[in-house]
A and B are shown apart, each in its own frame.
Chain A
Amino acid sequence: MNAGLCVGVEAGSERLELVLLGAKPRMCRVGFPSNSIGWAAVRGFLAGHHQPVRIAVAGVAALGFALAVGNAQDRRVLIVAPTVVKSALELALHAKNNL
């Protein structure tokens, strides 16, 4: 998978913290509610990208978020143990370097 959008998601019980590493702009940071609407909004945003998307997610809501977003063509989701990397930025870099 070539370089595209790399996303780190710190999935808490009430809030998703996202860091997106891409080409333009190089980095964005945003917070979504960690509920079904927030997960679906993130999925909808990522589905509109016509480039590969790599997502690394950690936190108590990681499994629910990963299932909601799901793997798709040119989209990979990896659940990462919070002992490995924790912050959204670290997770985005993990996605960039390891997926």
Chain B
Amino acid sequence: MSRVGDYLQIQDTVLDLQVAGKAALFEAIGRHVQRVHGLPADAVAGALLRRERTGSTAVGHGVAMPHARVPGLQRIRVVYLRLAPALSFDTPDGRPITDVVVLLVPDPAAQLHLDILADAAALFGDAGFRQALHECNDALLAQALFVRWRQPVPPGARPAQPCLAGHAP
């Protein structure tokens, strides 16, 4: 299983970002990936905003996982942003968001996209991880936490299996 920590780079870990709203958040993400990775800011922000309009990517507990397909992207990019102050968002539990995990993917429905999303859900579903992450006061520590944190494996869980591309429809 691919993990968030395998794809999250230190320069893509941003703490205490201040944004005024959802659109401003996506614009800030666009500017970030343009500056760090040379991706077109408007295209990234637009793709995230269009995706968000089809349904909220907030998952509760102050966490959102916006993701979008970005044409021309060579590999999956993961960006983590901690917001300060918290931002109102369309959340299932009504709580504003403080943690944003952004997935920019070159291909929809890819196995890797699902694996990283599942790992992010497992990490942020763990209250201990959320608390430890909020206690990190610099990007290096936060990025290291993504790499080193291990979730307990639930009893009966199966090992991850690779994509079976040869399945007959």
A binds B: yes
Interface residues of A (CB under 8 A from B): 5, 12, 14-15, 17-18, 20-22, 24-33, 35-38, 40-41, 43-45, 47-50, 68, 72
Who on chain B is nearest to A30 by CB?
A: B114
Which B residues, 54 to 73, have Cβ-Cβ distances below 8 Å to chain A?
Answer: 54-61, 63, 65, 67-68
CB-defined contacts of B31 to chain A, threshold 8 Å? none
Stretch at the interface among B16-24, B74-82, B116-124: B116-124
Cβ contact within 8 Å between B163 and A29: yes
| Interface pairs A-B: 9 shortest CB-CB | A47-B55, A40-B59, A14-B154, A27-B167, A41-B121, A30-B114, A37-B125, A44-B57, A37-B59
Instruction: Say yes or no: B67 contacts A30, CB within 8 Å.
Output: no
Residue in contact with A25 in the complex, picked from B68, B93, B118, B165, CB distance below 8 Å? B165
B157 at the interface (CB under 8 A from A): yes
Beyond the given pairs A33-B121, A33-B154, 9 more chain A to chain B contacts, judged by CB atoms under 8 angstroms and listed by A's residue number, are A22-B109, A26-B166, A27-B165, A30-B114, A32-B122, A33-B122, A36-B61, A36-B93, A72-B55
